[in-house]
């Protein structure tokens, strides 16, 4: 204990004798303060480096930036326009109401003044909630997106507005928008000055345009299935991305225009100098209020020029065939699906001209469809007459054909040969009843393409149908398991009338042709199966098919009054008694040759057996 006490006293004496004086304490304090300052400065530098890294990675919002140095690091000369207050400017034409914003110097909203959605709200092809568009380019310091800046309003005239984004007095970009008094077009010029010294070589300038398409019509699934991208390569026909799936399409060629196509409206971007390349993407929308998300990234044809003007034209309007056909944007009318090949020709050169002619005199589209049906069926009357007459002749020969079939039960080749001889002697063409009907099929298919796509029927009422462009529901019974997938959740009266009229026509046709019992049941089954298919289609289409059926069996009833079966029997008898070779068509001769060839083969087989 004495030893430990002595050591303790020695330590106290040592610290007392060696404690620093005031001068030494001042030196130590200055040293400590210096160390603290170094650590503080080092921490500040690390924090600044971290912030700069975040800024360069575009992970910080400009709205939170207030440090001029940080903005300068991120945006260079553009930093002076990184902060500001958004101001909107509205301009109107007869058809359009467009809202421009200095935040991005771009179009924020486009309203079509003459049209309403199914819920009677304004049709907005672009909206601040769903759409965005901006330029994107790579400078030597950072990636610049034009919607992050508050552009200077350089000029604001009645139908013209100019915004500018400046890096310096000799380096800037301008958006020049020009509206016409009428129509659905907006001319847009992107003017660049001095960007050749600012941009990273060979990186380009891109126009980004995104639209989460809102629901405009009543039937969400129908509109969703008709919403997609259409685009046109230089010197090629328009093409499109699948409407039933989400895809990304790389544009590898010079592209004239890209269209954000909805069921009845579209937004189209056209470049006079063609877009170099780009990509189009369709995705599932983030909001249930929208039907599909469409995003386009298009490269402007910039090759390092000191000054460059890009001429762009926008179309914001309806998918109206006549309006699209009159546009300076070549091939834009192809976004309306009128059918391929002969079906498209029938629509363009027959159905649409007749329809347009009737529109010039009538405003009730139910009456227009009625007159359109009567005109088409009148044009087809010679074919109907020929088909009926040939079918009546076949009916007169049916007893003899039944005898041939009974006599050659086990030899179908012999039945065919005997039937051909009978047709030849009687002067009857076995295809005379089928061919005229087949010639009418392209018109039926063409109408199937045209009517649901015709903008003119949108929100047009007739009788109980409040909108001819969608199904005419007289009873919504709700979604039921299995039934909903086969038939739907409603009852369309025009579809029922079409089905009933088809069954009546089928019965009349069966009586005329004398079809056997098995085929009779099959012919009655088909219209019933199509009932579920057409129940979801536009009322204008099922109304047309209903009228077409009514006119067809009315024509047949009238023709029957003029076709004398006794006279037909006399013609058949006269043909049988003629001497010499009976004239045959090339097709009939080919059928006979094929039948004979099969008959020879059968005989060879029998001999071998």
Sheet hosting strand 171-179, strand order edge to edge: 152-156, 160-168, 171-179, 185-193, 307-318, 265-275, 255-261, 228-233, 238-240
3-class DSSP state of 28: helix
Exposed/middle/buried for 482, CB within 10 Å: 0-12, 13-18, 19+? exposed
C-beta separation of 391 from 433 below 8 A = yes
pLDDT confidence band for 286 (50 / 70 / 90): confident
CA distances from 378 to 53, 293, 370, 372, 506 (A): 76, 46, 12, 10, 21
- Rounded mean pLDDT of 14-29? 60
CA distance 253 to 391: 55
DSSP assigned state of 201: T
Q: Do 332 and 362 fall within a single domain?
A: no
Q: Percent of the chain having pLDDT more than 70?
A: 71
Q: Of 315, 336, 357, which residue is a domain's last?
A: 336
Q: Do 351 and 460 fall within a single domain?
A: yes
User: Is the pLDDT confidence value at 176 over 90?
Assistant: yes
3-class DSSP state of 470: coil
Instruction: Quote the pLDDT of residue 230.
Output: 94
Report residue 322 as tokens. Answer: 């006549």
Nearest to 260 by CA among 298, 215, 316, 312: 316
| Domains identified in the chain, total number | 2
Asked if the structure places residue 4 within a domain, the reply is no
- Give per-residue pLDDT as tens, 549-565: 899 888 877 877 766 55
- Rounded mean pLDDT of 105-132? 91
Alpha-carbon 19 to chain mean position: 89
Q: Do 431 and 322 fall within a single domain?
A: no
Asked if the structure places residue 249 within a domain, the reply is yes
Asked if the structure places residue 235 within a domain, the reply is yes
Q: Do 172 and 215 fall within a single domain?
A: yes
Report residue 354 as tokens. Answer: 């007749």
CA distance 240 to 254: 15
Q: Do 358 and 268 fall within a single domain?
A: no
Asked if the structure places residue 56 within a domain, the reply is no
pLDDT confidence band for 271 (50 / 70 / 90): very high
Q: Of 336, 369, 402, which residue is a domain's last?
A: 336
DSSP assigned state of 307: E
Domain region containing 440: 344-577
DSSP assigned state of 235: T
- Residue 262 sits in a domain of what CATH number? 2.70.98.90
Q: Do 436 and 303 fall within a single domain?
A: no
Q: Of 302, 318, 336, which residue is a domain's last?
A: 336
Instruction: Quote the pLDDT of residue 231.
Output: 94
pLDDT confidence band for 367 (50 / 70 / 90): very high
C-beta separation of 310 from 303 below 8 A = no
User: Is the pLDDT confidence value at 89 over 90?
Assistant: yes
Q: Percent of the chain having pLDDT more than 90?
A: 38
Nearest to 369 by CA among 465, 290, 273, 297: 465
Report residue 287 as tokens. Answer: 């909001």
Instruction: Quote the pLDDT of residue 582.
Output: 47
Q: Do 250 and 199 fall within a single domain?
A: yes
Asked if the structure places residue 39 within a domain, the reply is no
Q: Do 319 and 379 fall within a single domain?
A: no
- Rounded mean pLDDT of 507-524? 68
Asked if the structure places residue 66 within a domain, the reply is no
Asked if the structure places residue 34 within a domain, the reply is no
Q: 517-534 vs 493-513: helix axis angle to the nearest 10?
A: 160
Map 514-574 to HEC letters: CCCHHHHHHHHHHHHHHHHHHCCCCHHHHHHHHHHHHHHHHHHHHHHHHCCHHHHHHHHHH
Phi, psi of 291 (to 5 degrees): -105, -25
Q: Do 324 and 349 fall within a single domain?
A: no
Q: Which residue has better confidence, 351 or 14?
A: 351
Q: Do 299 and 365 fall within a single domain?
A: no
- Rounded mean pLDDT of 410-415? 68
Q: Do 297 and 379 fall within a single domain?
A: no
Asked if the structure places residue 57 within a domain, the reply is no
Q: Do 385 and 490 fall within a single domain?
A: yes
Instruction: Quote the pLDDT of residue 242.
Output: 87
Q: What integer best gives the mean pLDDT of the chain?
A: 81
């Amino acid at each position: 204990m004495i030893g430990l006490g002595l050591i303790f006293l020695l330590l106290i004496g040592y610290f007392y004798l060696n404690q620093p004086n005031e001068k030494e304490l001042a030196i130590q304090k200055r040293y400590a303060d210096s160390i603290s300052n170094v650590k503080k400065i080092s921490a500040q530098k690390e924090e600044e480096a971290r912030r700069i890294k975040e800024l360069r990675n575009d992970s910080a919002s400009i709205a939170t930036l207030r440090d001029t140095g940080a903005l300068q690091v991120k945006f260079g000369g553009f930093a002076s326009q990184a902060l500001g207050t958004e101001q909107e400017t509205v301009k109107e034409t007869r058809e359009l109401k467009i809202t421009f914003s200095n935040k991005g110097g771009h179009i924020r909203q486009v309203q079509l003044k003459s049209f309403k959605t199914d819920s009677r709200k304004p049709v907005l092809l672009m909206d601040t909630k769903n759409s965005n568009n901006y330029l994107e380019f790579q400078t030597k310091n950072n990636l610049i997106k034009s919607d992050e800046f508050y552009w200077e309003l350089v000029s604001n005239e009645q139908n013209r507005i100019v915004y500018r984004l400046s890096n310096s007095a000799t380096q800037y970009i301008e958006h020049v928008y020009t509206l016409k008094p009428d129509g659905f077009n907006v001319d847009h010029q992107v003017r660049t000055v001095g960007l050749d010294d600012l941009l990273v070589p060979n990186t380009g300038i891109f126009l980004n345009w995104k639209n989460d398409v809102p629901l405009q019509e009543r039937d969400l699934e129908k509109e969703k299935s008709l919403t997609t991208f259409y685009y046109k390569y230089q010197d090629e026909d328009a093409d499109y991305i699948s409407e039933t799936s989400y895809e990304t399409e790389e544009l590898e060629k010079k592209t004239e225009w890209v269209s954000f196509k909805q069921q009845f409206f579209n937004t189209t971007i056209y470049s006079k100098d063609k877009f170099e390349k780009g990509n189009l993407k369709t995705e599932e929308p983030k909001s249930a209020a929208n039907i599909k998300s469409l995003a386009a990234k298009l490269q402007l044809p910039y090759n390092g020029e000191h000054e460059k003007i890009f001429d762009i034209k926008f179309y914001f309007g309806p998918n109206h065939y006549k309006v699209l056909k009159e546009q300076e944007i070549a091939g834009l009318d192809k976004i309306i699906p009128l059918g391929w090949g002969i079906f498209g020709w029938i629509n363009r050169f027959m159905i649409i001209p007749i329809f347009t002619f009737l529109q010039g005199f009538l405003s009730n589209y139910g009456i227009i469809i009625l007159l359109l049906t009567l005109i088409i069926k009148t044009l087809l009357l010679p074919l109907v007459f020929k088909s009926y007459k040939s079918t009546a002749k076949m009916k007169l020969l049916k007893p003899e054909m039944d005898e041939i079939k009974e006599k050659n039960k086990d030899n179908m080749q012999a039945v065919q040969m005997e039937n051909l001889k009978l047709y030849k002697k009687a002067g009857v063409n076995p295809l005379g009843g089928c061919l005229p009907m087949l010639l009418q099929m392209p018109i039926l298919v063409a109408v199937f393409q045209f009517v649901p796509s015709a903008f003119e029927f949108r929100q047009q009422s007739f009788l109980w149908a409040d909108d001819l462009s969608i199904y005419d529901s007289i009873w919504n019974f709700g979604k039921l398991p299995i039934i909903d997938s086969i038939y739907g959740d409603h009852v369309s009266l025009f579809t029922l009338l079409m089905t009933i009229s088809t069954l009546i026509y089928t019965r009349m046709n069966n009586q005329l042709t004398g079809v056997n019992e098995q085929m009779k049941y099959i012919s009655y089954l088909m219209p019933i199966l199509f009932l579920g298919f057409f129940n979801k289609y536009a009322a204008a289409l099922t109304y047309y098919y209903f009228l077409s059926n009514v006119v067809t069996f009315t024509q047949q009833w009238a023709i029957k009054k003029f076709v004398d079966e006794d006279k037909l029997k006399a013609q058949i008898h006269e043909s049988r008694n003629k001497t010499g070779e009976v004239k045959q068509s090339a097709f009939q001769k080919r059928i006979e040759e094929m039948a004979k060839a099969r008959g020879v083969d059968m005989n060879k087989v029998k001999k071998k057996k």
